[in-house]
Structure 1
C-alpha cells in the first residue's frame, strides 16, 4: 500500500509538471506532495533531510547556470549568434542545419539544455524565416541536441549534475570520458536529421532578407569563456563548480544591472527558485517511491557490470524509465539503486540513457515540453507522429553508439 501511495504521488507531481495548467509552477504540487509523503510516513524526516542536503549543491548550481544563460541572452549573445548564422547560411538550408548543430551543441554543453530550448530555438526559427527556408529541420535539431548533446559536461543538464555528484569523477575526467559519446551521438543525430528532413532541406528558398548587422558582445563572450575555463580549473583546485558559475553570473548580472538592461526581480526570476524548489521536493517524493518497492524491483534487474553488455543494458533501462517517469526522477531512482559508491562507468551509462532517451517521447524531458510550447502556433509546431518517428530513428542508434564510445573510453583508463 505504501508503495502504491508513493507512486500515486509521483504520478500526480509529474502529470502536473507535464501539463503545466495555467502556467503554474511545478512546485505548487510537488511541495505538498513531499509534505504528504512525510505525513503518511512514506519517507522518514531523516531520509528527506538527507535527500535535500545531498541535492542542495546541485540545485544551487542549476540556479546559477540558469541565471548565466539568461544574462547571456540579455547581453545579446543569442542575437549575435543568430545574425552570424544568417550571414554564414547564405540562403542554404543544409548549411543552416550544420550551423544550427554547431550552435545548439555548444550552447547545450556550456549553458545547459534550457538555454538551447528557451533562448536558441526562437533565434533559429527567426533565422530560418530570414533566410526563407523551411524551419522544421532546424528547430528539431534544437530539441534533439538539447537532450542528446548534453552529455559532455557536468553543467550541461540537471541529470549531469546529479550523475557528476554520484560518480566521484573530477570535472575534467567526466568531460574526458563523455566527449567521445557526445561527438558520436551528434554525428548520429546529424545523419538522421539530414535523411528525415531531406525534402525540406532540398526545397528551394524564397527571397531571403539581408542578415542583420549585430556587433559581437565581446565582454559577455569573454566572461562565458572564462567561466568555462574556470569549470575545468575548479576540479584541479578543489573549488566547487557552483562558485565558478555564480562568479560568472555575478559579473554579467552586475553589468546588466548597472546598464539598466535588467532588474533585480527579473534576475531572481531567471534563477527560477520555484523550479529549484520543485527539484528538491521531487527528490523527496522519488525517495519515498524508491524506499517503498521501486528500488528493490530495479535492483533485481539493474546490471552491475561495466562490461559492454552491462552498460548497454543499463543505458536502455534508463532510457525506458525516462520515457515512463521523466528523466529527472529516472536519474534519481537509478542512482539510488546503484548505491553510495557506484562504478563511474555505470553512472555514465545511466546518464546516456536519460539524456538520449527523452528524444523518443514528449514526456521524457521537461525541456522537450518547454520546446514544444515555444513552437505552439508557428509553422514549425511539432506533431506527436513526427516527433516519435524521428525518435525511433535516432534514439536506438544513438544509445548504442554512445555506450560503445563510453566503453572504449573506460578501457583506456
Structure 2
C-alpha cells in the first residue's frame, strides 16, 4: 500500500474521530458530565459498593457511545469529585474509569479508534458489529466487576457520608450544569446534550442502511451543540479546534504511514507467521493473545494497524478477536493504550500524584487474563449463533 493509499484509507476514520472528540467536549460544556456527577453522589447512599456499581454503568455507557477518551478525560474528574464529596475511597472508582475505558470499548464501532479501523476493514454493518460484540462486551464487564469487588474489598466496605442537599444542587444561574467540586457552565443544558447524543447514536445505527458515512452523523451532532455553545460563549472556535486534537490526528496518520511502510518491507510476513488461522475457538483465542501481546509491547494503535491488513481476508471472527486483544489487553500495562496514558495525566493534574504501578499491574493481571479468555469465548458463541 502506498503512502497516498494509506492517507486515503485513514482519512474518513480520522474525520469521524475528530467529530466525536468535539462532541464529547461540547457535552462537557453543556454540563452533561457534571449532571452525571450529581447523580452519582445523590444515588450512592449505599456506600462505596453502590458508587462503584453506578460508576461501572456510567463509564461503560460513556465509553460505548462517546468513546474511551471521554471516559478518561471527562468522566474521571467527575468520579473523583463524587467520591471526595461522599468521603469514599477513590481508588476503586478511578481505576474503574480506566479499566472500562479500555475493556468496555468493545461494543460499538464508534467506541474506540481501533474499532473504527477494524469496522472500515470488515465487511459488516453497524448493527451486525454491535450484535456480535454485545456478548463479549457484557462478559468482559462482568469479569471486571467480579475482580474489582474482590480486589478492592476493603475500600468498598466504607459507607458514604450523608451529602447535604445544597452540595448536590447546581449553582444558581448555571442552568443545571454544576457538579460536586465544579462551577458548571453558565446556560448549559445537560438535557440537550443527552438528547443530541441519543439522536447521534440512532444516526449511527441507521448509517449503514442509509449509505451515510458515520463521520457526517457525528459532525451533525457536534454542530447542533456547537451553535448554541458558541452563541453563549460556553466554548470558542479555538476550544473546538483544540478538542479535535489535530496534533493527535496527524500523529495517528503518521503512524499509519509508518506501519504501512514497515508492512511493505516484510513485517506483515513475520506477524502473519505467528497469527493462528481459522475461526474455531482455539484459533480465535490465539489471535486474541497475539493482539494483546502486541498491544502491550508497542501500544494498541500500531498493533491494530499491523494486524488489520493481515486479518482482512480471514473473515469477521479473527478481526473481532483481535479487537478483544487490543482493547482488553492494554489494561495490563501503562503503555498498552493511549487512554491509559491520558488517565495517568488526568490523575496527576487532579490529585498531584500518579497512580501506583504495582496496583495497576496486579489489577491488570487479575482482570486481563480471564477477560481475554471469557470475552473471546463469548465472541465464538456469538459467531456460532
TM range (shorter): over 0.9
- Report deviation, 1:315: 0.3
State the Cα deviation string for residues 215-253 of structure 1 (Å, max 9, x = none): 372111111110011100111111111111000001001
User: Is residue 112 of structure 1 aligned with residue 47 of structure 2?
Assistant: no
For the residue of structure 1 that corresponds to 2:221, the secondary structure is helix
Aligned to 2:169: 213
Q: Distance in 2 between matches of 1:395 and 1:331?
A: 18
Aligned to 2:50: 95
Q: 1:75 aligned to 2:30?
A: yes
Which shifted more, 280-289 or 324-333?
A: 280-289
Aligned residue runs from structure 1 range 216-227, under 5 A: 217-227=190-200
1:311 maps onto 2:267 in alignment: no
User: Conserved in 1, the CA contact under 8 Å of 2:278 and 2:314?
Assistant: no
Q: Counterpart in 2 of 1:302?
A: 275
- Decide whether the 8 Å contact of 2:45 with 2:162 is kept in 1: no
Q: Which residue matches 2:152? A: 197
- Please tell me whether residue 373 in structure 1 is matched to residue 345 in structure 2: yes
Matching of residue 348 in structure 1 with residue 348 in structure 2: no
Supply the RMSD in Å over aligned alpha carbons: 1.4
Q: Secondary structure of the equivalent of 2:89?
A: coil
Distance of 1:262 and 1:376 partners within structure 2: 25
Shift of residue 171, structure 1, vs aligned partner? 0.5
Mapped pair 1:158 → 2:131: no
Deviating beyond 4 angstroms after TM superposition, the runs of 4 or more aligned structure 1 residues are: 204-211
Distance 1:379 1:195 in 2: 28
Q: Is the 8 A contact 1:349 1:403 kept in 2?
A: yes
Q: How many residues align?
A: 366
Asked if the contact 1:91–1:208 (Cα under 8 Å) also holds between the matched residues in 2, the reply is no
Contact 2:114 2:304 in 1 (8 A): yes
Q: Give yes or no for contact 1:91–1:131 (8 Å, CA) kept in 2.
A: no
How far did 1:294 drift? 2.1
Q: In the superposition, relative to structure 1, how do residues 78 and 320 fare at CA in structure 2: closer, same or farther (>3 Å)?
A: same
Residue aligning to 1:175:
130
- The residue that corresponds to 2:184 in the other structure is none
The answer on whether the counterparts of 1:113 and 1:147 sit within 8 Å (CA) in structure 2 is: yes
Instruction: Tell me the residue number matched to 2:212.
Output: 239
Measured in 2, the distance between the counterparts of 1:137 and 1:369 equals 18
Question: Structure 2-normalised TM-score?
Answer: 0.92
Aligned pairs (5 A) from 1:120-159: 120-159=75-114
The verdict on how the C-alpha distance between 1:92 and 1:380 changes in structure 2, with shifts beyond 3 A counting, is farther
Post-superposition offset of 1:288: 2.0
My pick for the range that moved more, 341-350 or 356-365, is 341-350
Q: CA deviation at 1:373?
A: 1.0
Counterpart among 363, 366, 370 of residue 393 in structure 1: 366
Q: Give a deviation string over 1:283-306, Cα, whole Å, max 9, x none.
A: 011112222232111111111201
Give the equivalent residue in structure 2 for 1:331.
Answer: 304
1:137-159 deviations in Å (ceiling 9; x for gaps): 00000000000000000110000
SS at match of 2:235: coil
**Structure 2: gaps of 5 or more residues:** 171-175, 177-188
Cα separation, 2, equivalents of 1:240 and 1:209? 47
CA contact (8 A) 2:45 2:160 kept: no
Contact 1:167 1:342 in 2 (8 A): no
Residue of structure 2 in register with 1:16 after alignment:
none
Q: SS state of the match for residue 105, structure 2?
A: coil
CA distance in 1, matches of 2:20, 2:130: 17
Measured after TM superposition, the shift of residue 338 of structure 1 is 1.9
1:365-398 C-alpha deviation (Å, 9 max, x unpaired): 0110110111126288411111010000000100
Counterpart CA distance in 2 for 1:65 and 1:344 is 25
In structure 2, how many angstroms separate the alpha carbons of the residues matched to 1:325 and 1:354?
A: 11
Q: Which deviates more, 306-315 or 90-99?
A: 90-99
Check the 8 A contact 1:108/1:149 in 2, yes or no.
yes
Give the Cα–Cα distance (whole angstroms) in 1 for the partners of residues 216 and 159 of structure 2: 49
Structure 1: segments with no counterpart, 5+ residues: 1-45
Query: CA contact under 8 A between 1:111 and 1:155: conserved in structure 2?
Result: yes
Partner of 2:244: 271
